[in-house]
Structure 1
Amino acid sequence: MFKTETLNDNLLVQKFIQGDQTALEELVGRHKNRVFTYIVLIVKNHQLAEDIFQDTFIKVIRSLKNGKYTENGKFVSWVLRIAHNLIIDHFRKEKLLNTTSNDETEIDLFNSQKFAEDNIEDKLVYDQITEDVRKLIDLLPEDQRQVIVMRHYMGLSFKEIAKQTDVSINTALGRMRYALINLRKLIEKNGLNLTKI
């Protein structure tokens, strides 16, 4: 009988799938610091990082139980990819909600044309534009898509993007430049009108 701490990640995954709960505890214990550090570095909020960390391992458990893990790389890389996707989802939702607080000012911010509700047509057009842009971003090469998402959905600086993707700032800037060039080409090719008017 092997001790779980002597087994590699993929063997522990197999043991967990077969019903060994201690294998999962070992996997979480082995990688929790790296995963949590990765999340907190991006979201820069300890409470939010804890929530995303918990959601990450809930998704990991569900995916393992549903047979959605394949041994085509390192287990921890797969977990980090799940965490990364959850972070992106969080920032997308936050950007769509775009909440503003009225508590920090004496002026009533919401008594403003800026915050007047769009009519239903404006909202439909905006939703369609957002959806079209999202689809175009998905067509970009992985490195270009990543820099667009990190910059525009997650609000990271190019210095932060360079650090997260382990490239120089010039490379990150270059990827953004090519991403924007390619997006323009895709917009023209698809004949899309990305304005409200």
Structure 2
Amino acid sequence: MNTQPDSRLISEYRSGSEKALAILIERHQKDLFSFIFYKLMDEDLANDIFQDTFMKIIVTLKEGRYNEEGKFILWAKRIAHNLIIDHFRLKAKQVKVSETSYENDEFSIFDLLAGKEENIEERLISQQIKDDLTRMLVYLPENQQEVIKLRFFDGLSFKEIADHTGSSINTTLGRVRYALINLRKIMEEHRIILTR
């Protein structure tokens, strides 16, 4: 069993060690999943929030935005808690709003759109972001393009994507994770800045 502290694993992951991330996920997945599940009491939804939480963690670590204050698991639970709140807000809003609900959900993982209520200007910017992302997708391998479209444009859950593509949830998560990492690289290479 790996006894390295979380901070060391985070540092190794930032330096390019995928194994360090795997150890970090394995170490905390039971605690984090239980935390999410007992708030939702729905296994499929808990799985989706769990996967989204780790994707948000991955993006934050890759961008070097994680600060070492406090314990990693408490930070991870805070992210999960915020995603759960977002889910319930979105659910409440879907009664009143059309497809823009998915648009907001889609970009929440990129930390691009802070507010849930958008005015006309914000909606135009959201559309611009969507157009930029669509253009960037062509640089991804086909299987990554497919999962990104299904997840962020069509709003499918990880389980639905896994069923749709005939893959396991782990494979689906891996593809989405690598697609997000690749999108970040593409943004840097092509100097594309997605902003509010």
Larger relative contact order, structure 1 or 2 (CA cutoff 8 Å, min sep 6)? 2
TM-score, normalised relative to structure 1 = 0.48
TM-score, normalised relative to structure 2 = 0.48
Between Structure 1 and Structure 2, whose CA radius of gyration is higher?
A: 1
